[in-house]
């Protein structure tokens, strides 16, 4: 069973053209989360705090995974793609050798714009791969419902024999949206070789061993797990909903500046030079 390395609260920050969001991790020590680099929670109920969005900006060397819960994100890119992500939809963008895009949030009737963005690193061998998008409508995401009332949306990877629709992703991540009813306690398998974290976004849950009365991690809590082959979770009185994300660590050097993540400083300098020259 995996113990807990750390529980922390996502911290308020500003990104894009002035979007207020909460960052669970990113731009710090990358090792504990490898192959993941950053996780942003952009749930927001005040349109003036998100409508300026994320105008044109580049990415290279990473993948970004956007999961929308409420509102819409309109996107456009330098390859001529455009579209809109709606509640329950996922977009998996492999930036690879380079892409310019913009992501513009639009609230729903209640003014809500809710969702998450995760960055996954690409291994050295794929940093310069061709850019690619996978836009997955909500209806294509399998939902596993279990006898204890637990329900799991399988965005990527496998759970209980169901496979998520996102494929061909380097880090072979598993990205699950897990809902557990009030008071239910259960185990969820996570392969031993992976780094794993949970991010709570509704209710609260105790991720420590049930025999030790641990604290309950509430909304916007990030739980980083130790090694092991499963996690234990007990939902609080109002149930719990959280993302459970895991991936195989790449164990490569990370050279990171803004939206570009390479292996060496030279590659970073080159990437920014090519951007300036317009040769991406
Ligand atoms: Co972006």
Over range 217-241, report the average pLDDT: 95
Q: pLDDT band for position 210 (50/70/90)?
A: low
- CA–centroid distance, residue 116 to ligand 1 (Å): 12
pLDDT-above-70 percentage for the chain: 97
Distance CA 199, CA 222 (A): 5
- CA–centroid distance, residue 189 to ligand 1 (Å): 31
- CA–centroid distance, residue 234 to ligand 1 (Å): 35
Over range 118-143, report the average pLDDT: 95
pLDDT at residue 212 greater than cutoff 80 = no
Distance (Å) of CA 11 to CA 8, 104, 116, 119: 9, 22, 14, 17
pLDDT at residue 178 greater than cutoff 90 = yes
pTM of the predicted model, to two decimals?
Answer: 0.95
pLDDT at residue 118 greater than cutoff 60 = yes
Full DSSP string of 95-153:
-TT-EEEEEEEE--TT--BEEEEEEEEPPGGGTTSPPEEEEE-GGGS-EEE-TTS-EEE
- CA–centroid distance, residue 211 to ligand 1 (Å): 43
Distance CA 261, CA 240 (A): 34
pLDDT score for 110: 95
Distance (Å) of CA 26 to CA 181, 187, 231: 30, 28, 23
CA 248 from chain centre, in angstroms, equals 15
- CA–centroid distance, residue 57 to ligand 1 (Å): 6
pLDDT-above-90 percentage for the chain: 88
- CA–centroid distance, residue 63 to ligand 1 (Å): 9
- CA–centroid distance, residue 160 to ligand 1 (Å): 32
Chain-wide mean pLDDT for the chain?
A: 93
CB burial of 161-172 (b: ≥16 within 10 Å; e: otherwise) equals eeebebeebbbb
- CA–centroid distance, residue 65 to ligand 1 (Å): 10
- CA–centroid distance, residue 277 to ligand 1 (Å): 20
pLDDT score for 128: 95
pLDDT at residue 184 greater than cutoff 60 = yes
């Amino acid at each position: 069973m995996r113990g807990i390395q750390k529980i922390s609260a996502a911290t308020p920050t500003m990104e894009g053209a002035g979007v207020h969001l909460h960052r669970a991790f990113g731009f710090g020590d990358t090792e504990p989360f490898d192959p993941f680099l950053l996780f942003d929670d952009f749930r927001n109920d005040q349109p003036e705090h998100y409508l300026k969005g994320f105008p044109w900006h580049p990415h290279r060397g990473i993948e970004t995974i956007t999961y929308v819960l409420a509102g819409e994100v309109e996107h456009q890119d330098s390859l001529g793609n455009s579209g809109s992500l709606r509640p329950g939809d996922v977009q998996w963008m492999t930036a690879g050798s380079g892409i310019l895009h913009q992501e513009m949030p639009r609230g729903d009737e209640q003014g809500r714009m809710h969702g998450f963005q995760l960055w996954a690193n690409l291994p050295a061998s794929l940093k310069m791969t061709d850019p690619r998008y996978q836009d997955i409508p909500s209806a294509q995401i399998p939902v596993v419902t279990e006898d204890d009332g637990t329900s799991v949306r399988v965005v990527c990877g496998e759970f209980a024999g169901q496979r998520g629709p996102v494929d061909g992703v380097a880090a072979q991540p598993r990205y699950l949206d897990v809902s557990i009813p009030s008071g239910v306690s259960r185990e969820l398998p996570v392969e031993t070789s992976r780094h794993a974290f949970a991010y709570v976004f509704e209710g609260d849950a105790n991720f420590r061993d049930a025999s030790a009365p641990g604290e309950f991690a509430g909304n916007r809590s990030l739980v980083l797990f130790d090694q092991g082959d499963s996690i234990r979770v007990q939902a609080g009185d109002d149930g719990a909903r959280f993302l459970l994300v895991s991936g195989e660590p790449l164990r490569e050097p990370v050279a990171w500046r803004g939206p570009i993540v390479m292996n060496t400083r030279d590659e970073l300098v080159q990437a920014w030079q090519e951007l300036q020259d317009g040769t991406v």
